[in-house]
A and B are shown apart, each in its own frame.
Chain A
């Protein structure tokens, strides 16, 4: 992708100003300029075309069970995530204005391990779901000095915040050990991934840069709205990919798969972990879904609750949008393995093997 560049992160290194570009770069720049210029007319034309085709498309969707189910589930995932995304980008914009990297560094403990622990506990303070925590974590990540703490926060916030804990309590009445196991396994996942990042993480995997802060050259409100606008477009676009993937998989993944899991611990763990990834449920709702899958033993259901908020198809899409593909293809599988293993081990310890 960008491997040809020796220093991909030099700010402004590749800012092509048409006037200064010579040799082979010129046609490409021209093409980019052209596509920029054309994007507005194309958008208007597309809207007109879709408006004219509207009733035809609606009829086609209504006639097909698969299409209308996929369309409704796409809309469900997207619409459900939108308010959380809005809260997330407003919060991330506040961070862009007020939390400078050195200020954050002053708040957090100096030792990376201690900073990761503080970030994990701080996750309890963001009462939202995972869609909001990705842009917030990207802002906290900044240029990477506090990357481990930011990633720990990203994984912890959607899994252990008060709203999620309460919904888990309600979904599993009389089974407080399920709540403790969920919070514990999610915290372990977040901390392990944070420490793993501080040990093995590489700055060059972060190929997506944030817009350079305009503070100093404009009023604070402008910094705020520009950051919120950027994060909404970026995270929202990738949310679309995730919602579409979830909708397609919903239609394809057969339910009988779940129906044959009774008494199969290892198979159950694997299937439920994969199911958490493909269904891409909101972390505030997944406890109710897990509770309703009564034919599955408790440990695989715990795995479902721990993996889902940490990594699923929409989070993978959003992470590659906010951090870069090189980051997401390494971080997402690692998170999947760590979350699955920690949930299984803690589940067996707390809930027992019988389920």
Chain B
């Protein structure tokens, strides 16, 4: 690959990074908190590409075509050179994936139909209280962790609001949310069971409908063994639009 093409590809990688950062698609792949770092990365990569292009243009004017000798980077054996020269083509793959395909956020189908458990074998501890108010919003994984590990009972007898998508299971409806720690590669499906009178409303909705649910975690529903999933006594179910960041 010529230096000119390498620089163009480098520029495209920077542009692709900028596009997913500005367009917001990056939240399908990594945490929203990566925003400033991705912005800086895009600036660095685009900057490196532009500087290299500018240098080559000036050099090209000064020395004829000598700026084009990409092989000065690799004084190794010739066979290695051609091999090495072509490896930069691989950078075309993320450019195509990020700009033209833009794969969707992970859906529940991406996960095997197994139980996703929350650790209860780590030391159970007192959690800080959830926010005040009539029905503060608590994330699905947070509900799971608190139900399993909290010794302070911060969820007991508290009306909370939880946002997620419906998952229709043989024995009732669950509220699911894909949780990521760092990037999509570590995603896990968090879920809580929905029960009580209003749960029928959620069960009547099509699978994977985004809903806002108000309810109370049934005390003790996720105590004990480490594979338990908490159960929410549902008071109200409201269908909503898919949020911009689908991950918790």
Contact = CB atoms under 8 A, between A and B. Distances in A.
B110 A15 contact: no
A353 interface: no
B30 A79 contact: yes
Contact of B8 (A40, A71, A173, A247): A40
A255 B52 contact: no
B78 interface: yes
Interface string A49-74: 01101100110011001001101111
A289 B30 contact: no
| Residue among B28, B88, B185 with max Cβ neighbours from chain A (10 Å) | B185
Interface in B118-173: 118-123, 125
Contacts of A39: 1-2, 4-5
B184 A75 contact: yes
B212 interface: no
Contacts of B34: 79-80, 83
A194 to B, nearest CB: 25
Interface string B57-101: 000000000001011111111111110111111111111111011
B56 to A, nearest CB: 11
Contacts of A243: 94
Contacts of A209: 74-76
Contacts of B180: 76
A233 B72 CA distance: 15
Contact of A211 (B49, B73, B117): B73
Nearest to A291: B119
B190 to A, nearest CB: 10
Contacts of B71: 15-16
A75 B27 CA distance: 11
A35 interface: yes
A82 B34 CA distance: 11
B231 interface: no
Nearest to A289: B186
B100 A74 contact: no
B112 A256 contact: yes
B181 interface: yes
A57 B74 CA distance: 36
B248 interface: no
Contacts of B200: none
A79 B106 contact: no
A225 interface: yes
A61 B119 contact: no
Chain A facing B: main interface SS: helix
Contact of A2 (B12, B76, B88, B92): B76
A233 B76 contact: no
A71 to B, nearest CB: 3
Contact of A50 (B30, B73, B100): B100
Contacts of B86: 35
B91 to A, nearest CB: 6
A208 B83 CA distance: 11
| Residue among A72, A241, A321 with max Cβ neighbours from chain B (10 Å) | A72
Contacts of A53: 100
Interface size class of B (residues with CB under 8 A): 35 or more
Contacts of B38: 79, 82-83
B183 A80 contact: yes
Interface residues of A, number: 95
A36 B1 contact: yes
A86 B41 contact: yes
Contact of B45 (A25, A232, A241): A232
B177 interface: no
A16 B26 CA distance: 44
Given A222-B55, A240-B93, A250-B185, A255 B112 contact: yes
B5 A90 contact: no
Contacts of A237: 87-91
B1 A72 contact: no
Nearest to B102: A58
B199 interface: no
B52 A73 contact: no
Contact of B82 (A35, A42, A82, A291): A35
B104 interface: yes
Interface stretch (A134-142, A153-161, A277-285): A277-285
Contact of A229 (B10, B72, B85): B10
B100 A15 contact: no
A181 B102 CA distance: 40
A174 to B, nearest CB: 3
Interface in A226-251: 226, 228-230, 232-234, 236-238, 240-241, 243-244, 246-247, 250
Contacts of A234: 87
A232 B90 CA distance: 12
A240 B88 CA distance: 10
Given A208-B76, A209-B76, A43 B9 contact: yes
B100 A51 contact: yes
A68 B88 CA distance: 25
Given A14-B78, A232-B45, A291 B122 contact: yes
Closest 10 CB pairs of A and B: A76-B184, A285-B182, A174-B123, A71-B103, A80-B183, A76-B183, A83-B37, A54-B100, A288-B181, A39-B5
6 contacts: A76-B187, A82-B38, A207-B80, A228-B48, A240-B93, A241-B90
